[in-house]
Amino acid sequence: MPPPSADKEVVQRTPPALLNELDALKQQAKSGPQVDPELEAAVGFTHFDVTSSQDNLITVLLTREDLHLLASQTLVRVKSKDDRRAYLGVVVRGPFAEPNAVPANSTMAIGVVTHGKKLAYTFDYHGRAEIEIVGEEVDGSLKPPRFRPRPQSPVFLLNGRSRISHAFRRRAVDGPCGG
């Protein structure tokens, strides 16, 4: 093999543009992922449908930290991704705590829970709740839902400031016939 020529180095210097790009990536990694400000207020996200899914019932998954925010009968707004529809719903089941690593009914999960006095270890967990979609927001009014929210759509607590949320709360308390 001939020796490298004097004008052609075997190891070349990294171009300054590439060094700048690597520095920018390093700074981005240090600052962490950038969260969409709107998603910061989400309490959970819709899950995928399964063969046993039912009309107007949607599974919502939430973090352990947000589990306390989605109590039974909580009113929510789901902003469906991709199709940009908005739905109003109410928590009808849960929230339930499920382990992240193994199925809740596995012998490992059961063993860890039943030996809680002896074991300091437990699985990290997330929440699962079922919401019933009661309507779709269309041009400022509540219409019967014709579609389902898409998977991974954010779920928000319904605030009482909007006209539609006031009407929805009144309908939930009084019933569809006004009491």
- Burial code of 25-37, b = ≥16 C-beta within 10 A, e = fewer? eeeeeeeeeeeee
Report helix, strand or coil for 41.
Answer: helix
Question: Does pLDDT of 26 surpass 90?
Answer: no
Residue with tokens 């109410």: 90
Whether 125 contacts 99, CB under 8 Å: yes
Tens digit of pLDDT for each residue in 55-108? Answer: 889 999 999 999 999 999 999 999 998 889 999 999 999 999 898 888 888 888
Query: For the chain, how many residues are written?
Result: 179
The span from the CA of 40 to the CA of 125, in Å, is 20
Does the predicted TM-score (pTM) go above 0.75? no
Tens digit of pLDDT for each residue in 100-144? Answer: 888 888 888 888 778 777 777 778 889 999 999 999 999 988 999
- The encoded tokens of residue 31 equal 């600052």
Bond before 99 cis per omega within 30 degrees:
no
Residue with tokens 């939430």: 62
Residue among 126, 145, 135, 15 at smallest CA distance from 75: 135
Bond before 33 cis per omega within 30 degrees:
no
pLDDT reported for residue 166: 52
Residue with tokens 């300054």: 16
139: alpha, beta or left? (left if phi > 0; alpha if psi -120 to 50):
left
Whether 81 contacts 60, CB under 8 Å: no
The span from the CA of 173 to the CA of 61, in Å, is 26
**Residue 124 DSSP symbol:** -
